[in-house]
Amino acid sequence: MASLLVPPASVRGMTKLDRSKFTIVVKLPVMRLGKVNLGRLMPVLKKYTLKMQNFKPIQKYDDANDDDGKIAYLDPVKVQKFEDIDQADKKLLSDNDVTDFCNKYISFNYDNWRYDQVLKAVFPEGAEVPNSYSKIGHLVHLNLRDSQLSQKYLIGEVFLDKVPNTKTVVNKLNTIDTTYRHFAMEVLAGDKDTMVTVSEYGFQYKFDFATVYWNPRLSTEHKTLVSFIKPHDVLYDVFAGVGPFAIPAGCKGNRVMANDLNPESYRWLTENAKLNKTCGNITAFNKDGREFLNVEVRNDILKRRNVGAKGSEHIAMNLPGMAVEFLDVFTDWFNREEAEKVCTNPPIVHLYCFVKLGKEEDPHALAKLLVEEKLGHALTPESLLTIHNVRNVSPNKEMMRVSFMLIRDILIGYKPVAKKLKIDNTGLFVDENVIG
């Protein structure tokens, strides 16, 4: 007879999922409610009722002589008898003639356990179990550690069962491809279908997850950056992927020039522009980021200055693993005459990067130093707009956004970097724990 609300100990070490082995029988405290007004008592009952997957804690009483009566199954960790209930709650129950306690034996099975409960039960005692995943359309993406691979197919089956609307579970096999920003993957469970459709803040994105870059953890940042873009502004998306910045900006009515080196990303970028009816506001390119900046972006900014176009230019550089290596483009982007004209309304750069933190180090300060070092110029209060912590990537590592203006000192002047980075950034920009 199991006494704890956990799967049976006999499943530990399981490598092939056998759902029938997860059944237990437990004795639960039960409160008989009779025909009381449940609406009046629910605020109290919610504190004490048992919460399990696929289990209703308030059920009809299985007594042929009492068709309308109800009972509440209580959490045995919180309460065993009527006297264990808080005094004020106990009074409300008593005033409604709810004082009848008893015990009932209940059977729980595989369907009642959460995915983390199942995995904790089958993994060796004290072992680290998979505790996070990414949901991309119908697909669940895992990043399993070496110690978890012996049970990878069981893990895949559990996630397939437990995460709603999942048809495919995959595991990353290597780091992000440095050329096209995608990774090899293995299907652990479900259909071998990596074509997905994702909805993000009302926009639809269709793509093959096996060939392009997508990270659902950046949805808030996608929305935040696009909120900076005002009417008449232009977005130059240097590493556009399938369009999470470009599509919302185009749908706002802004003109967008979006680029990605990966031919598959370029393909789905153009498809998503049509899918979301961006009204021809997006022009897509399939070029190296440096060439895109030096030719397409440079010429478009000059053209805008020559015709006196309204609005500002936003240059989004969301390739956090290596975008800083492209910053040297800006130091001799224009000749002096062109730069003077451009600086009348400085373009805005939104640069994404990773920083590794030492003990008590500030990620904002490190991101600023990193950008200054690669840019070759200090970011003064005149040029620096904001440094934003986008998300935690792994212990002691953060993804940051540094937004700054390309003012005169950067384009044609010189301000030496005030301080060199003290940390070793070798290998900083390839991270096994980042899927996008």
DSSP string, 244-288: TTHHHHHHTT-EEEEE-SSHHHHHHHHHHHHHTT-TT-EEEE-S-
Strands of 58-60's sheet in order across: 58-60, 70-73, 24-34, 100-108
Whether this model's pTM surpasses 0.85: no
pLDDT number for residue 428:
34
pLDDT number for residue 360:
86
Helix (H) or strand (E) holding 339: helix 336-342
Summarize pLDDT for 98-154 with one digit per residue, the tens.
Answer: 888 899 999 999 999 999 999 999 999 989 999 889 999 999 999 999 999 999 999
The full set of domains in the chain, from first to last, is 24-108 (3.30.70), 115-198 (3.30.300.110), 215-411 (3.40.50.150)
Between 115-122 and 152-162, two packed helices, what is the crossing angle to 10 degrees? 160
Spans in the chain with pLDDT lower than 70: 1-4, 62-68, 174-183, 413-436
Count Cβ atoms below 10 Å from residue 12 Cβ, excluding itself: 13
Q: Which residues contact 134 (CB under 8 A, 6 or more apart)?
A: 140, 141, 215, 216, 217, 435
β-strand 234-237 against 255-259: which pairing, if any? parallel
pLDDT number for residue 173:
83
pLDDT number for residue 63:
57
Backbone angles phi, psi at 176, to 5 degrees: -60, 135
Q: Which residues contact 112 (CB under 8 A, 6 or more apart)?
A: 52, 53, 54, 55
pLDDT number for residue 177:
53
pLDDT number for residue 180:
60
What angle (nearest 5°) sits at the alpha carbon of residue 417, between those of residues 326 and 289?
Answer: 5
pLDDT number for residue 413:
63
